[in-house]
Amino acid sequence: MSRQEIVQRRRGRPHTSMFVRMLVRAAVLRRGRAALALLAMVIAAAVSTTMLDLYADVDAKLR
């Protein structure tokens, strides 16, 4: 592939950062690991939301 072809190919694409491209490539190559990481973040968000809700509820009942 010549330099001219590479330049023309990139010209049609929107500018994306190297970090985003690396994340997408890693997610595509390691789908299982990416799904597991997403699941871990969802569980962590659910647990932290539940803990904050319990804290607020107990605090309100004690007053």
DSSP track, 2-49: -HHHHHHHHHTSPP--HHHHHHHHHHHHTHHHHHHHHHHHHHHHHHHH
Is the pLDDT at 48 greater than 90? The verdict is yes
Per-residue confidence band for 13, with pLDDT thresholds at 50, 70 and 90:
low
Whether this prediction's pTM lies above 0.85 is answered by no
Burial of 34 (0-12, 13-18, 19+ CB in 10 A): middle
12 vs 1: CA distance, rounded Å: 17
Range of the domain at 31: 3-62
Number of domains in the chain: 1
pLDDT in tens, 24-33: 888 889 999 9
29 vs 51: CA distance, rounded Å: 35
Q: What is the pLDDT of residue 32?
A: 92
Q: What is the pLDDT of residue 51?
A: 97
